[in-house]
Each structure stands twice: as C-alpha cells, then as structure tokens.
Amino acid sequence: VFGKFQRERKVRKVYKAVTLKPVPTGMHIHWMWAAGLARGQSGGPSAQILSHNPEGKKKSKEWTRCVLEVTDSKPIDLPEDVLKKEEKGQQFFENTIRLVTGRKHQVRAQLASLGCPIIRDTLYQPISGMTFELLSFGEAAEEAMDSAIAKCQVPNEPIGLQAHAILFGGVHAIARNAWWMK
C-alpha cells in the first residue's frame, strides 16, 4: 500500500532543519549529478555538489531534479545544555521543509547550496554556497572548490536535521522532539 502512495506521489515527508541563517521560503529546484558522483573522490567523503541551472539537464540521464519547499523559517533558541562552546551566543533558525523529491543527502545538499548549511553538518558546511556553476569562473574557482571539498568530513555527532513527519492515506506519523528541542 505504501508503495502505491509513493508511486502516486501521495506521500508527504516533512523535515526540520536547524541553520545559522534563515532559509528562503518557497520552492527550491536544483540538479544533482545522478550517479551519486562527487568531485571529492580523492579520498574525501562524497558530498553532492548541485547545479542551479537546468539548461541541458532536464532530459539528461546524468542529472536528477531535486525539489523541496521551505514552508517556514523562524529564529529559535536552543537549550544551553545542547550547545557546544563555539555555538553559544549564535542565532539559530528552525526550518520546516516539505520534500517533493527524495534523493540521498537532498535536504543537506540543497540547503548548503543556498548558503544555509545545517548546523554540525561537517560534510556540507565546507561547500556552503558552492554549485557547479562556480566551475565556470576558471581554474582559481575550481581550486577553491577542490580545497573546500577536501575539508568535507562525515559528521561524528548528530546534525541539525530531523525526519519530522510522514503523511499518507490518513496516516500522520510525527517524530519525537529532535535533540535540539529538549
């Protein structure tokens, strides 16, 4: 039954994400290299670099369309006991995100490409604001991207992302409070 709802696009997935900047509300469409390939294959973890430009990608099997909708972005105060020393005194934003397509690392990659990486996400924070379009600016831009990718590391602690709810066929499953909402 669940598979039928997915095929008919009747499954709604809602995520909560904490960032240091508000994510612009509305629909966000990006293009992800479909094969799951990343530029950081020189020993680094595989972070996805996205493209904002659909030109030549819509009909290409090498690119996959990624769509999410940010429905809310509001300032929040995190409890002192969950903050790391370097996080104290910072303003945080909790973002409500409706996933339209579901791709591996999609929420993380899209928010990072918008310059709003998820807190504690050491895989995507180094490439915040970077997209494939940066490569058109020449060798220096390519070296900057390679340098940023080399800093990407798989997180060793929980990041500010939660699969908050799934809604289908009258079922409304909502997760418990995330670690930042104690």
CA distance linking residue 137 with residue 140, whole number of Å? 8
Please tell me which residue, 117 or 169, carries the higher pLDDT value: 117
Average pLDDT, the chain: 88
Q: Report the alpha-carbon distance of residue 34 to residue 63 in Å, rounded.
A: 5
Is 180 in a helix, a strand, or coil? helix
Determine the pLDDT at residue 152: 93
120/49 Cα distance (integer angstroms): 18
Q: What is the pLDDT of residues 63-86, one digit of tens each?
A: 888 999 999 999 999 999 999 999
> Global pTM?
0.89
Tens-place pLDDT, residues 121-130: 999 999 999 9
Q: What is the pLDDT of residues 13-68, one digit of tens each?
A: 999 999 999 999 999 999 987 665 444 444 445 788 899 887 777 767 788 889 99
